Amino acid sequence: MLTSPKISRRTVHGLLACSLALAYGLAPAATPKDTLVQAFAFDDIISMDPAESFELSAGEILGNTYDRLLRLDVNDPSKVIGDLARSWAVSADGKTFTFELKPGVKFASGNALTAEDVVWSLQRAVLLDKTPAFILTQFGLKKDVVKDRIKQTGPLTLTIETDKPYATTLVLNCLTADVASVLDKKLVLSKEANGDMGYAWLKTNYAGSGPYKLREWRANEIVALERNDNYSLGAKAPLARVIYRHVKEAATQRLLLEKGDIDIARNLAPQDITALAASKDIKTTAAPKGTVVYMSFNMKNSALAKPEVREAMKLLVDYDGIGETLVKHIGQIHQNFLPVGLLGASTDKPFKFDVAKAKALLAKAGYPDGFKVTIDMRTVQPVQGIAESFQQTAKRAGIDIEIIPGDGKQTLTKYRARSHDIYIGQWGADYWDPHTNADTFARNADNSDGAAAKPLSWRNAWDIPELTKKSDAAALERDGAKRAKMYQDIQAEFRKTSPFVILFQQTEVAAYRSNLSGLKLGPTFSTNYMFKVSKR
């Protein structure tokens, strides 16, 4: 792990031990004035390497610790703003993007940040070819050509050349993604082992230039961030450190917040949010998220592969009940893969809870008495409540569902191996463009087990060559109005035939102590900026 002249390992461990004691009610006390302490369920984190990390919770950490060429404008997500980039331009043919960097930027290590670091970081993400690499490789930036297409042209200038004239906004928005984070090349290569470009080391370490630096990550326990005093792209973080405590239970988060043992609770249940409304010491902030929660069916299961069964499943969800109880305050029922706010997002909601119609469809499919199936469930709310609700409503049509509980890493690993039957998950926009969700929900270029790209459609063995062509065409359309219509059409087909039930669009809510200022949740997890929060 990292060391620092500002704060010793003993001090960090003392803070963490204190936080643990507080979490178990052993020594209630106010949190340190220079430290932001949060309760947050982050059992989905697998890696802290931007080239590999692809989980929502990790996105928040990377958004606070790494810089990239561009960032999303949190006040107007339809726009991008310069982060490391001082200026950028696109060629007349729409294929070459030129960037000039801001001068004088340093990494947390003290090393100067140059165009060489940017180029190497983007090339490294492609060459390592981990899960999020497709965000870059979709533009023809493949392993064999990436060093020719992402090039340094000066100390602070570089070019990126795509293989086709994609929608300009699509390319720029992809460069705001976590996989485009810029690494300290000199530091990372000093940790290289057997030519791995620092991959083993960076899974748990840090090499960035953002407002905070990663001090420590212990899976399912703690994430500790420390202020980066070398940060130069804006005001330095008001607080010296941010500590995330892994607390899964909403009731426990609420209790810790009420006692003052934490500053922010991030995973409260609807009833907790309602109860806290009367407190003068606690406030809440909310933001619609570019995140949808969905249920999906693996079409390797012969029953779930039948179109009548999939349609029946969509009619066995108690949408109204879920909306009025399980996701009250924290989501809005939504039945489309594009969240509201993205270009072309549909608000159509054709599915209603209808047991009789579902039974008729099951009988038509050859299952008049139903069938048995399993569902993998991450043991956090509202996922657990949704799984239990669906188990009960599906039973009314004769479908016997066995719930298999697990933490985020367990269920996600099984899902990525497409060895599940039914899975409940959430998908957050990797960048603010409709292709981010179309590319995973409505595109599957290779459905074979050995496919290089493994989007959500692949994970559920949904082979869709024609819909893939439509999604590819939409990514190339540079006329905004025409492009929006194309996505409307894709969503309509998706609703009818897909093995997905889109359940709701997330509204993220954070409850916090009233002595905090500057807490604002962004449209993505990567734009939840803790480096703007202060205490009084």
Q: What is the CATH number of the domain that holds 145?
A: 3.90.76.10
Q: Which CATH number belongs to the domain containing residue 469 in this structure?
A: 3.10.105.10
pLDDT band at 16 (very low <50, low <70, confident <90, very high): low
Query: Residue-wise over 508-519: b if at least 16 C-beta within 10 A, else e?
Result: bbbbbbeebeeb
Q: Within this chain, do residues 325 and 176 fall inside the same structural domain, yes or no?
A: no
Residue 423 dihedral angles phi and psi, to the nearest 5°: -135, 140
pLDDT at 223: 97
pLDDT at 452: 86
Span 344-374, pLDDT tens digits: 999 999 999 999 999 999 999 999 999 999 9
d(CA 298, CA 466): 20
pLDDT higher at 108 or 29: 108
In a domain, 106, yes or no: yes
State the CB neighbour count (10 A cutoff) for residue 233. 16
d(CA 364, CA 368): 8
pLDDT of 262 strictly over 70: yes
Last residue of a domain, one of 180, 209, 238: 209
pLDDT at 1: 34
In a domain, 377, yes or no: yes
Range of the domain at 96: 67-209
Cα torsion 237, 341, 273, 284: sign: positive
Residue 116 dihedral angles phi and psi, to the nearest 5°: -60, -40
In a domain, 257, yes or no: no
Sort strands 422-428 and 282-297 into parallel, antiparallel or unpaired.
Answer: antiparallel
Last residue of a domain, one of 146, 175, 209: 209
pLDDT at 18: 52
In a domain, 13, yes or no: no
Most distant CA pair in the chain: distance in Å?
Answer: 70
d(CA 205, CA 50): 11
Span 435-488, pLDDT tens digits: 999 999 999 999 999 998 899 999 999 999 999 999 999 999 999 999 999 999
Q: What is the 3-state secondary structure (H, E, C) of 105-152?
A: CECCCCCECCHHHHHHHHHHHHHHCCHHHHHHHCCCCCCCCHHHHEEE
CB-count burial class (<10 Å; 0-12, 13-18, 19+) for 228 = buried
pLDDT of 11 strictly over 50: no
In a domain, 464, yes or no: yes
Q: Within this chain, do residues 343 and 483 fall inside the same structural domain, yes or no?
A: yes
Q: Within this chain, do residues 157 and 305 fall inside the same structural domain, yes or no?
A: no
Q: Within this chain, do residues 204 and 300 fall inside the same structural domain, yes or no?
A: no
Angle between helices 250-259 and 9-23 (to 10 degrees): 110
pLDDT at 78: 87
Q: Within this chain, do residues 293 and 400 fall inside the same structural domain, yes or no?
A: yes
Query: Residue-wise over 185-213: b if at least 16 C-beta within 10 A, else e?
Result: bebbeeeeeeeebbbebbebbbbbbbbbb
pLDDT at 453: 86
Structure tokens at 407: 């933490």
pLDDT of 24 strictly over 70: no
Cβ atoms of 373 and 400 within 8 Å: the answer is: yes
In a domain, 24, yes or no: no
Q: Within this chain, do residues 430 and 328 fall inside the same structural domain, yes or no?
A: yes
Q: Within this chain, do residues 293 and 200 fall inside the same structural domain, yes or no?
A: no
In a domain, 224, yes or no: no
Q: How far apart, in Å, do the first and last CA atoms of the chain sit?
A: 31
In a domain, 123, yes or no: yes
Span 379-420, pLDDT tens digits: 988 999 999 999 999 999 999 999 999 998 899 999 999 999
Span 185-231, pLDDT tens digits: 999 999 999 999 999 999 999 999 999 999 999 999 999 999 999 99
Task: Please count the structural domains in the chain.
Answer: 2
pLDDT band at 56 (very low <50, low <70, confident <90, very high): confident
